[in-house]
Amino acid sequence: MKIRRLKVGVRPLEEGLQEFGGTLKALQTGKTLSKRGGVYFVSVEAMRRVLTPSRLTLLHLIRTRHPRSIAALAKLIRRDFKNVHADLKLLADLGLVHLEPGAHLRDSVTPTVPYERIQFEIAV
């Protein structure tokens, strides 16, 4: 079984825009592109503001404990439901968490983490 990994790193805005421009030109000329995944931030500070220790703990608990709902996760970590929900929404917007319809009516959303590893990449 292949280990699913996600790259998370810091990339200057100019570099990201150049890559986007190159991708756009390649698509306009009809080239087929391979999928390149990852989540990149413009600075280490921006990455640290988003990937806080409590959010990284949420990722770990979802991956290892498989809570069936956001409420179950909030109870497991002993945090307020609204705060956990807000953190999961942000992580889902970044693609780090999937929020899927729950198996039971009461469990409206089940969080899952589709990666075994997250690789941090920071140029020095």
Q: How many CB atoms lie within 10 A of CB 20?
A: 10
Structural domains of the chain, with CATH: 5-121 (1.10.10.10)
15 or 105: which leads in pLDDT? 15
Confidence at residue 104, expressed as pLDDT on a 0 to 100 scale: 66
Dihedral, CA atoms, 40, 45, 46, 47, nearest 10 degrees?
50
The answer to whether 70 and 61 have CB atoms below 8 angstroms apart is no
pLDDT in tens, 26-78: 778 888 776 667 888 989 999 999 999 999 999 999 999 999 999 999 999 99
pLDDT band per the 50, 70, 90 thresholds, residue 2 = low
Q: What does each C-alpha distance from 14 to 20, 27, 43 come to in angstroms?
A: 10, 20, 12
Q: How many CB atoms lie within 10 A of CB 107?
A: 15
What's the pTM value of the predicted model, to 2 decimals? 0.78
pLDDT band per the 50, 70, 90 thresholds, residue 80 = very high
**Residue 91 token pair:** 């992580």
Confidence at residue 58, expressed as pLDDT on a 0 to 100 scale: 98
The answer to whether 40 and 19 have CB atoms below 8 angstroms apart is no
Mean pLDDT of the chain: 87
24 or 44: which leads in pLDDT? 44
pLDDT in tens, 90-101: 999 999 999 998
What DSSP state is assigned to residue 103?
S
